[in-house]
Structure 1
Amino acid sequence: MSVLIVSPGRDPENWVKALENQHPGLNIYVYPEEHDPEEVEFALTWNHPRGLFKNYPNLKVIASMGAGVDHILSDEGLPEDVRVTRVIDETLTEDMGDFVLSQVMNHIRGLHYYAKVQQKKKWDQFQYKRPQNTKVGIMGLGVLGNAVAEKLNKNFFKVYAWSRTEKSCSNVTCYHGKDQLEEFLQNSEVLVCLLPLTEDTENILNSDLFDMLPEGAYIINVARGQHLVEHDLMKMIDSGHLSGASLDVFREEPLPEDHPFWEHSKINITPHIASVTKPESVVPQIVDNYERMKENEPLKNKVELEKGY
């Protein structure tokens, strides 16, 4: 019985060390080193090559290295009976809350703008907003969405949230379903996307949605690049309907050097660092699921494949 780590483009050394420390004697392979596919029952992965797992006849569990699982579920060649798990971690949750709060504060105080005009030696002041007078809308009320809502609420923002199905969050005005989407958007001066990536949410950040936002709204995307229709965002910023955007995720990563986002004065770019998985923090839950798999016990943080999250 073996564990396979598949993470193209990432150095897996810290994952191997963390697994060995948590479970001494665990047999670990790192793709694409030579190994026997029939030995592998548990895979730990991020952005595996499409169709790879069809080659593992005894594979039972595929564990994501992070909170997202779209990189797994988008593979149409997954074995039929395989179970998929994701990471839920306090560190990831706290980091996401801190990051979104910093982006919202940077926007309402104009810090992104000042950083850009400094390069031009331009002295240009404008009226900033206060949290108490700012409405922030959060799309997605999963673990991360709830944490972000709580963080913003504690910092005196007026917080609204929208989810596919009915959910609740303390001190947050919650909406759900397509019928309540427009009312939610009308209350979103800053819109934060924290949705899972599914067939229903892909391309959801588009012109039709932006039209329902109040004029001057600001976009923060920390979910997936595939949520955003890039041309629509630039068109709506250039028209003045949107005031700008902070983007941490992109359709192609790293973002190509010739991408127009780099040069756009009202788009702030960060390289997918809003919340980064730390192996030593999440490996205990991964090893726990490995043991649960061996004992035929229910897995923690199991993904509902039909929902996509």
Structure 2
Amino acid sequence: MPDAIAYISRDTDGVLWKKTLEAALGPLDFRTLDKLGDKADIEVALAWKPPAGLIASFPNVKLIVSLGMGVDHLLADDKLPESVPITRIMDDGLVGQMSEYAIYWALRHHRDIDKYAASQRAKQWKVEDFVDTLHRRIGILGLGTIGQDTAKKFAALGFPTAGWSRTQKTLPGIETFHGADGLGRLLARSDILVNVLPLTRDTKGLLDARLFAALPKGAYLINMARGGHVMDDDLLAALDSGHLSGAALDVFNTEPLPPEHRYWTHPKVHVTPHIAGATNPRTASPGVIENIKNLRAGKPLINTVDAKTGY
């Protein structure tokens, strides 16, 4: 019977994943992208941005695991076998990293650190006007696992925090909005907007000129979801006009970000290379291990994905 596990990622060689899985499951036929062998042996595909059509070439694959909490990188492949279940990792470590990223950039903006850094370079002792935390409103786009964790941590710091989701959700201490009408209401009260939405047909290009115009003047954007959410020209125009005061961007429409892109040199943009949250096998593996056991025992899988909604 096919029982090989294929690790399909160009980012790392999979050694740590192999070690972690074997500690729980025993010796494995663990194969990497450059040493797949007979594809008919592959039962499970652990994948991050797999080459288009590759997973469909595994005739006996029974489980596809996204090595990220998002699955748009898988669903972009129109040859993905429809009958094979897709699951995603639920990684507490990654969730924590993402909220740290949002809080860092929000606090940096909130406390005018860039302005003080410029004053230091100019050897100027200059005190900036202080905005009280109670008057700096945080808006979170997306209230999945990462969005909820991020919202709760902002609220714990004393920021008036609200979140938006496609369908109605309730979070203690967090003002929540949903649907098309709710999006406009969230934007109108967001001085710092944090995007953690999944990338789907409905959310692609959502961060456009109309959305930026709905934010208060001087609002700040933190995008740590997907680059495909942002219409780049619209964001640059909003920054150039002064309507937005700045942006911290971790994800981009093209990655790596091309050297000629204006984001690299724009004075109001901070660029990081898709590092807001990195999958850690130590914290991400428990659900993967459980699903491999469940698959082989004929039990229901956890953390399954609906390919139609994209999450």
With the length of structure 2 as denominator, give the TM-score of the two structures.
Answer: 0.95
> How far apart, CA to CA, are the structure 2 residues paired with 1:161 and 1:242?
20
Q: Deviations over 1:88-117 (max 9, x none)?
A: 122222222222111111011112344456
> How far apart, CA to CA, are the structure 2 residues paired with 1:170 and 1:212?
26
Corresponding residue number in structure 2 for 1:78: 80
Equivalent of 1:87 in 65, 71, 89: 89
> How far apart, CA to CA, are the structure 1 residues paired with 2:203 and 2:173?
26
SS in 1 for 2:204: coil
C-alpha contact 2:65 2:288 (8 A) present in aligned 1? yes
SS in 2 for 1:197: coil
Structure 2 counterparts to residues 1-309 of structure 1, below 5 A: 1-115=3-117, 118=120, 125-309=127-311
Q: Which moved more, 1:239-248 or 1:7-16?
A: 7-16
Q: Deviations over 1:39-66 (max 9, x none)?
A: 1111001010011111111111110112
The number of equivalent residue pairs is: 309
> How far apart, CA to CA, are the structure 2 residues paired with 1:302 and 1:214?
38
SS in 1 for 2:264: helix
> How far apart, CA to CA, are the structure 2 residues paired with 1:33 and 1:119?
52
Q: Which runs of 4+ in 1 moved over 6 A?
A: none
C-alpha contact 1:98 1:151 (8 A) present in aligned 2? no
Report sequence identity in percent: 39
With the length of structure 1 as denominator, give the TM-score of the two structures.
Answer: 0.95
C-alpha contact 2:92 2:284 (8 A) present in aligned 1? no
> How far apart, CA to CA, are the structure 1 residues paired with 2:114 and 2:226?
22
Gaps of 5+ in 1: none
Gaps of 5+ in 2: none
> How far apart, CA to CA, are the structure 1 residues paired with 2:9 and 2:89?
15
RMSD over aligned CA atoms reads 1.5
> How far apart, CA to CA, are the structure 2 residues paired with 1:117 and 1:46?
43
Return the letter of the residue paired with 2:17.
Answer: W
> How far apart, CA to CA, are the structure 2 residues paired with 1:22 and 1:212?
50
